[in-house]
Amino acid sequence: MKKIYSTLIVFGCIISLSYAQPRIGLLGGPQSSSVLEKNNIPGWDAAIKPGYSPRPGLHIGVLVEAPLTASGDWFLHPGILYQAKGRKFLMRNDTDIATASDTVFTSQQFFTNYIEFPVNLVYKIPLNQKVHVMLSAGPYVSFFYNGKQKSETRLFSSNSYKNDEFNLESGNEAGKVKTMEAGVNARVGLEIGSVMLSAYASRGLTDFYTADYDGSFKHQVIGASLGIWLNKTSTGIRQPKDSDKDGIPDAMDECPTLPGSAATQGCPDRDGDGIADSRDKCPDIAGLSKYNGCPIPDRDQDGVNDEEDKCPDEPGSPQYGGCPLRDTDGDGISDNIDACPDKAGPVEFNGCPIPDSDGDGLNDKEDKCPGKAGPVSNMGCPLVKEELISQLNYAAKNILFNVNSDVISDASYIPLNELIVLLSSHSTASLIIEGHTDATGSAKLNKQLSQRRAESVLRYLVEKGIDRSRLSAIGYGSERPIASNATKEGQAINRRVALKLEKD
């Protein structure tokens, strides 16, 4: 009892420190209590711990609210509560375990009741004039009031019940509950006028029970509360004189008969810029103190004030810090949309110079081979080596056809495949395939035959992966002989395929 009296005295001292007259409320509601137990019993977590469950109970008591600030947002909530704590246990055994242990099931009720003294620091957030969100937390001290332990066992062998019930006693010996227990608690809820709705949780920090084995036992509670304040708080402090009712006492008000704001020491401030109208050269337009209450000037009237304007005497655009649009490189494209503002270039390239990707001195727009360097004389394309021309001529001499046919002879595939290798290694070379015949037969038919032969070679090259855009085929018939058609030897020479590099 001495500890309880000491606690009450401490509570009284705390309340006496309040900023204003406290108010008193009644508080109560349901809760669920459990015991957090830790021990070294083998198989505890797997076999025994699952049998424990919370004890439903209630709490009821008195709460005191002591204001700590004049603003009415911080409070102290000491209280006295009756708390029903404890836990339940039930374990049912299957046939094998029941046979071995002679126990079908075991249940236990461990009930402890306390007189608890919480002291919470409270912060209230107003939602409107009557409704506040309430957040609180703090320590508590509990004193054991009474309790009991009831055990019930059903025996397997005799199918009988065994009941044991005894009152719990306080003390430090095994099987007894300690007189005092301490912990922390938190509460959150709504205060609607004089009614308080809240949820709370508490956790013990000290062991409250001594078992006949090594272990720790701490209370844990969650619950809900309904509270009613029985009186209204009152500061009991005489308010200083405030003639103009602006919330600033006359002793601190430079304009005690004219409503004002704290920022202007109680004087009027029509534009709300924190500068009293009596000192404000622009009383109806908000400004800065450095400009005597007027806005920051804008000499060039471009919408950018002088403090931010990089060209304060030259109208410009906010995008350019108050400076006008410029075309630094003189290419007719303003710097704001010019990707290369310091280098002239056409619109097509966003104001940048036309690129020269291969660095051969000819820009990409004029370069026929922009990805490979070549001389200007060859339109930027690499020069074809003489040896490539001779290799093409060799391949052309060995491309043969069956008589009066556009079918390529089998012996021609070897030089054709060599031709494919040549074209693959010279990826920029374009080829003209010419078909020629002797002068025997109809000139019209000869021209058609030479065209078909040239196209047969073209198709084969395309089928083997050569880009069609690099190839062209044309048949000249007997129009371009290179030997006399009067002899069979000359006619054989004239029946040929010629391969030529295309020049732009």
Would you state the structure tokens that stand for residue 306, as one six-digit string? 């002088």
Q: Write the DSSP symbol of residue 404.
A: T
* Residue type present at position 203: R
Q: What is the pLDDT of residue 504?
A: 46
**Kindly report the CA angle at 270 between 267 and 275, in degrees rounded to 5?**
55
The pLDDT confidence band at residue 78, using thresholds 50, 70 and 90, is very high
Strand bridging mode 209-210 / 431-436:
unpaired
- Per-residue pLDDT, averaged over 320-324, amounts to 78
Q: What is the pLDDT of residue 235?
A: 46
Percent of the chain with pLDDT over 90: 34
The pLDDT confidence band at residue 102, using thresholds 50, 70 and 90, is low
Would you state the structure tokens that stand for residue 303, as one six-digit string? 């919408």
The residue among 111, 171, 109, 182 whose CA lies nearest residue 146 is: 111
Report whether pLDDT(94) > 50: yes
Per DSSP, the three-state class of 110 is strand
What's the start-to-end Cα distance of the chain, in Å? 114
Instruction: Kindly list the domain boundaries of the chain, sorted by start residue.
Output: 2-229, 386-501
Q: How far apart are CA 413 and CA 423, in angstroms?
A: 15
Helix (H), strand (E) at residue 396? helix 386-397
Q: How far apart are CA 187 and CA 198, in angstroms?
A: 7
**What is the per-residue pLDDT across 394-417, written as a single tens digit (0 to 9) for each?**
777 778 777 788 888 888 888 888
Report whether pLDDT(344) > 80: no
- Per-residue pLDDT, averaged over 91-120, amounts to 80
User: Superfamily assignment of 386-501 in CATH?
Assistant: OmpA-like domain (3.30.1330.60)
**Lowest-confidence region among 136-145, 175-184, 355-364, 451-460:** 355-364
Strand bridging mode 431-436 / 471-477:
parallel
- Per-residue pLDDT, averaged over 111-117, amounts to 96
- Per-residue pLDDT, averaged over 81-93, amounts to 89
The pLDDT confidence band at residue 150, using thresholds 50, 70 and 90, is very high
**What is the per-residue pLDDT across 11-29, written as a single tens digit (0 to 9) for each?**
555 555 555 578 999 999 9
Q: What is the pLDDT of residue 36?
A: 95
Burial class (CB in 10 A: 0-12, 13-18, 19+), 431: buried
- Per-residue pLDDT, averaged over 226-238, amounts to 72
Q: What is the pLDDT of residue 237?
A: 45
Q: How far apart are CA 423 and CA 457, in angstroms?
A: 14
- Per-residue pLDDT, averaged over 96-110, amounts to 72
Q: Does domain 2-229 sit in CATH 2.60.120?
A: no
- Per-residue pLDDT, averaged over 114-138, amounts to 94
Q: How far apart are CA 280 and CA 274, in angstroms?
A: 9
- Per-residue pLDDT, averaged over 24-50, amounts to 93
Report whether pLDDT(246) > 60: yes
Taking residue 160's Cβ as centre, other Cβ atoms within 10 Å add up to: 9
Report whether pLDDT(383) > 70: no
Answer yes or no: pTM beyond 0.75.
Answer: no
Angle between helices 443-463 and 413-425 (to 10 degrees): 60
b/e map 112-143, b = 16+ CB within 10 Å: bbbbbbbbbebebeeeeeeebebbbbbebbbb
Q: How far apart are CA 246 and CA 238, in angstroms?
A: 17
Taking residue 434's Cβ as centre, other Cβ atoms within 10 Å add up to: 21
- Per-residue pLDDT, averaged over 338-357, amounts to 77
**What is the per-residue pLDDT across 472-490, written as a single tens digit (0 to 9) for each?**
999 998 899 988 988 988 8
Burial class (CB in 10 A: 0-12, 13-18, 19+), 248: buried
Name the region of 125 (left: φ>0; alpha: ψ -120 to 50; beta: rest). beta
Residue carrying the six token digits 């919480």: 118
Q: Measured in whole angstroms, how far is the alpha carbon of residue 45 from the centre of its chain?
A: 39
Q: What is the pLDDT of residue 96?
A: 64
Mean pLDDT for all residues in the chain: 84
Q: How far apart are CA 186 and CA 139, in angstroms?
A: 9
Range from 141-155, 338-352, 420-434 that averages highest in pLDDT: 141-155
